[in-house]
Amino acid sequence: MMVTFPLLAENNQHQLRAHIKRQPRPQWEENRGVQRSRLDGGGSHPDLLCFSILIRHKGIDLMRHNGIGSSNTKEDVVMALSCLTRGLRSLTVSQPALLSSQVAAQCKLGAQVPTTVGQHRGFLTTAPLEQNKTFWKKREKYTIKPIGMKKTGGRDHTGKIRTHGIGGGHKQRYRWIDFQRLRYEPGKEDQPFEEKVVEVRYDPCRSADIALVAGGNRKRWIIATENMHAGDIIKTSGVIGRMAVLANEGDAYALGALPVGTLVNNLEILPRRGAEYIRAAGTSGVLLRKVNGTAIVQLPSKQQVQVLETCMVTVGRVSNVDHNKQIIGKAGRNRWFGVRPSSGLWQRKGGWAGRKIKPLPAMKSYVNLPSIAAK
């Protein structure tokens, strides 16, 4: 049985064209139903690729919305093949010289393109698999089990180095730290709770030590404070009373509940966001003053921030206090930490170098106080 491939009806062509951007047609282009893609760049011949695009992109739509209105498989085959035949027909008609120049000029495909076949533009025959660089970070359920990490070497998602001096180093497993200290167990909301420190151990991913704490039915990792040992009981409370609480080291309270002048760490600047400041080894901030609903904390860099008093902090200094006194001793130890050598090129230092004596920056406020003028 002979099967006739009908020409595309006009209405079909319009529908097809609607999906592909218009291109100015060169004069010698005589084929009617030809659609071109951007890759053409106004090229002469309808690329086979364009039909492939047609069918690829809109394969299903072609099937759905051809003018015939049938969802018959075979009709669709017919239609698709007709597009291709037309394209191929014009392909053979084109001048080889023009083709090759266009291929040279406009083909941007990489080495995957088979260049042996002459009269067509190259194309990608394989589907690039997604980079699986950050899949290990995409786990949703919390776990205390250490997670295997993939080192990036300072490279970003494009593969180029974005941060120099990172690479190599001992293999590390990531222990998922729960920075939101005031995380209630499901079912026991809004009650201050206590947790027991099970163990305090070294974390290869940060300078501070981490502690495994267990409370209720769950266990989690937190940043350990200076004098934390296994067996301690630490308290977490979000309640702000009228009187300031006499806080023990390692406990976590809201800023409004602490007396002025306490050393704090693991500060969160927005309530329930999770601690983002003062987490490094041996650091501590100072609660300077509390003023109507907000509290002002001095960070280790002497910068002052104003945050809501419901933000949580833990009391005390972060563990591993002698971290800054550590002597590296040799270049190899730095390489074990994953620090690559900096460029040895001597460069004249500019205005950025040298000691600067300047006033402290202004206090940064993370609180949207209603302005007096808005009354």
Partner 1 sequence: MSPSCGGTVDISVSLVLIISFATKSDTGNYSCMTQPPDTISPTVSIQIAGLQGQVWYWMLLGKSAILLFSLASLAVKYKRGELRRLSAHGAVSRLQARRHFGVSRCLTAKAPPARKPRERVEIPGLERITYAERMHYVPGLAKPVFPDWERDYKDPRHYRSPPVHEMPLYKEKPCYVFNQRTSVLEGVRQALWLTKTKLISGLPPHLVSVAENPANQIPDQDERVQNAIKHARFWDTTEERPRKEKYSKTLLINLIHLCATLQSSHPAIGRRILAEKYSLAATWKRGEDLFQIRGQNGLLHNSMDPLPAVSGSQEVADTADHVLETFYPVSPTIDLQKVHVYKEEVNSTGFRGDYPYPHSHTLYFLEGADARCKLRPEQFRANMLMFTFGNALAHAHKLYGTQPQRVLDSPVTVQAVGTNGRIFQFLVFQLNTTDLSGDDGIKNQVWLDEDVELYDFAKVRPLIKKKQVR
Within 197-226, the residues that bind partner 1 by CB under 8 A are 198, 214-219
Please list every residue from 239 through 278 that binds partner 1, using CB under 8 A: none
Which of 71, 143 has the CB closer to partner 1?
71
Q: Where does residue 252 rank: exposed (0-12), middle (13-18), buried (19+ CB within 10 A)?
A: buried
Cα 318 to Cα 209: distance, rounded to the nearest angstrom: 8
Which of 70, 301 has the CB closer to partner 1?
70
Which of 136, 336 has the CB closer to partner 1?
136
Please list every residue from 151 through 190 that binds partner 1, using CB under 8 A: 157-159
Q: Which of 25, 191, 194, 364 binds partner 1 (CB under 8 A)?
A: 194
- Check residue 36 for interaction with partner 1 (CB under 8 A): no
Neighbouring-strand partners of residue 221:
177, 212
- Check residue 6 for interaction with partner 1 (CB under 8 A): yes
Strand ordering across the sheet containing 364-365: 193-202, 233-236, 252-254, 312-315, 263-265, 285-291, 294-298, 304-308, 364-365
Q: Which stretch binds partner 1 (CB under 8 A): 53-61, 240-248, 264-272, 338-346?
A: 53-61
Comparing CA positions, the residue from 200, 254, 263, 208 lying closest to residue 232 is: 200
Cα 167 to Cα 327: distance, rounded to the nearest angstrom: 21
End-to-end Cα spacing for the chain: 85
Please list every residue from 101 through 130 that binds partner 1, using CB under 8 A: 108-110, 114, 117-120, 123-125, 127-130
- Check residue 9 for interaction with partner 1 (CB under 8 A): no
Q: Which of 16, 34, 63, 296 binds partner 1 (CB under 8 A)?
A: 63
Please list every residue from 305 through 364 that binds partner 1, using CB under 8 A: none
- Check residue 2 for interaction with partner 1 (CB under 8 A): yes
Which of 132, 292 has the CB closer to partner 1?
132
Cα 59 to Cα 22: distance, rounded to the nearest angstrom: 19
Which of 166, 214 has the CB closer to partner 1?
214
Q: How far is the CB of 27 from partner 1 (least distance, A)?
A: 21
Contact (CB, 8 A) for 57 and 39: no
Question: DSSP string of 320-373?
Answer: -GGGGG----SHHHHHHTTBPPPP-------TT-S----PPPPPEE---PPPGG
Q: Which of 25, 38, 164, 272 binds partner 1 (CB under 8 A)?
A: 38
Please list every residue from 280 through 309 that binds partner 1, using CB under 8 A: none
- Check residue 144 for interaction with partner 1 (CB under 8 A): no
- Check residue 61 for interaction with partner 1 (CB under 8 A): yes
